[in-house]
Amino acid sequence: MKLLSPRERKFLENRLKGLYGVEEGFNDLVLIKCGRGRIRATTKETLELASRLRGIQQIGLYVMKISNGDISLSVEGSQLLNDEIKENVIELDEERVEKWMKAIPIKTETTYHGRYVIGKFNRLYLGSARVSRNGLLYPQIPKWRRIPIAKNSE
């Protein structure tokens, strides 16, 4: 685990602004690289205490993954940014939020810029979905937190 350098952080902030219209971002938080483009966020005090401890497995929250300049926000990453997110958002109704949380692809007519779009249901942000060329969105919900698909449906 390594802290993001000021240059990397600047790049990230620019990408968040370009892709999602985020102005402030994770201002007060420490951002940590934890391999394969994954970024975790935590507080300064947490990081300070971590320097004393042994056997550390994880610090803070997994918030995003960066790949070739594209940013996929985790559910919690998008919830942390909350209404800072202004662009590339898809509003979901009850039927589609159910599909989103089951990681079932969702058909869309809208064109989005970037490879990812962020889901929103009422006031809740639900992380990212990958935008495919065939007009489908593939929600990036990890297997362990998907709503199970009932047998004989979908």
**Under the rule (CB under 8 A), what is the footprint of other proteins?**
29, 41-43, 45-46, 49-50, 52-62, 74-76, 79-80, 97-98, 101, 121, 123-124, 126, 144-148
Q: 6 or 53, CB closer to other proteins? A: 53
Q: For the sheet containing 38-42, what is the strand order? A: 2-3, 30-33, 38-42, 61-67, 70-73
Report the alpha-carbon distance of residue 22 to residue 141 in Å, rounded.
22
Closest CA to 88 of 146, 11, 22: 22
Residues paired with 64 in a beta bridge: 39, 73
Question: Residue 109: what residue type?
Answer: E
Instruction: Work out how close the CB of 124 gets to other proteins at its nearest, in angstroms, rounded to a whole number.
Output: 7
Q: 132 or 149, CB closer to other proteins? A: 149
Closest CA to 105 of 139, 75, 128, 131: 139
Instruction: Work out how close the CB of 3 gets to other proteins at its nearest, in angstroms, rounded to a whole number.
Output: 15
Q: 114 or 146, CB closer to other proteins? A: 146
Encoding tokens for residue 71? 């940013």
Instruction: Work out how close the CB of 43 gets to other proteins at its nearest, in angstroms, rounded to a whole number.
Output: 5
Q: 18 or 146, CB closer to other proteins? A: 146
Instruction: Work out how close the CB of 147 gets to other proteins at its nearest, in angstroms, rounded to a whole number.
Output: 6
